[in-house]
Structure 1
Amino acid sequence: VNGANPGTKKCSRGNGTMLTSRGSQQYRALTVPELVQQMFDAKNMMAACDPRRGRYLTVATIFRGRMSMKEVDEQIMNVQNKNSTYFVEWIPDNCKIAVCDIPPRGLKMASTFIGNTTAIQELFKRI
């Protein structure tokens, strides 16, 4: 899923783009809210488009490490509620969440985000 689809967004710790280096993680504690914020941040898009210029059709999030499923659900719901204009209303339950309690080697927490957004049109208009 490493950007194989042009409508794919991925922010990860582990096998993908490191947003926080493994070495610095021992000095700071990652939190679920921080992971969620980084996943939806326009600066972390792998494609050269701004998700704020489109709407998410679907979103898949994968969290790894020991964390509260309730907190993960709440944080994703907060993002959807605060940014409801960026999510289509005609696809119910368009955000799926998976949690695996085993973190990647050398990390305490990690997350991956894949989003299908209409903002990808920007990229194709420039071609």
Structure 2
Amino acid sequence: GDLNHLVCAAMSGITTCLRFPGQLNSDLRKLAVNLIPFPRLHFFMIGFAPLTSRGSQQYRALTVPELTQQQFDAKNMMCAADPRHGRYLTAACMFRGRMSTKEVDEQMLNVQNKNSSYFVEWIPNNIKASVCDIPP
């Protein structure tokens, strides 16, 4: 039902950059190197955006800042954890569709600067971004 659809959407979204061409694309090795600072710290939380109901036929183009804000929102996390009560070690933001890599890079820098208290300071440049040209 809906849970299977949600898991399917999240997992296919995460593996998009492995399956389709794009700008700033990443592979499994790059993800592992950038997201896992120590072998024992290997648990991920997935934030998925836009989060819409399965039957919704409405489509609205979202901007990069809107998508980024939704990705880090506690309501869009695929686990029962509120990221505001902890700190991020690293983050990977994967975007799909036609968008400017410059805008994505600027937004990632903006997230890191505005929300620096939510990221550990001992890992510099701890946000990785990738853009897949194929829209969802």
TM-score, length of structure 1 as denominator length? 0.67
The C-alpha deviation readout for 1:66-95, integer Å capped at 9, x for no partner, is 001111111121111111000011011211
SS of alignment partner, residue 48 of structure 2 = coil
Higher relative contact order, structure no. (Cα contacts within 8 Å, ≥ 6 residues apart): 1
Name the SS for the 1:93 alignment partner: coil
- Structure 2 partner of 1:7: 44
More helix per residue:
2
Instruction: Tell me the alpha carbon deviations over residues 7-28 of structure 1, each in whole angstroms, 9 at most, x when there is no partner.
Output: 3223145xxxxx1356211xx3
Aligned to 1:38: 70
Q: How many residues align?
A: 95
Unaligned 5+ segments in structure 2 are 1-9, 12-41
The one-letter amino acid of 1:10's match is G
TM-score normalised by L of structure 2:
0.62
**Structure with the higher fraction of residues in strand conformation:** 1
Tell me the residue number matched to 1:50: 82
Question: Is 1:23 matched up with 2:57?
Answer: yes
Q: CA RMSD in A?
A: 2.0
Offset at residue 46 of structure 1 (A)? 1.2
State the SS of the aligned residue for 1:63. strand
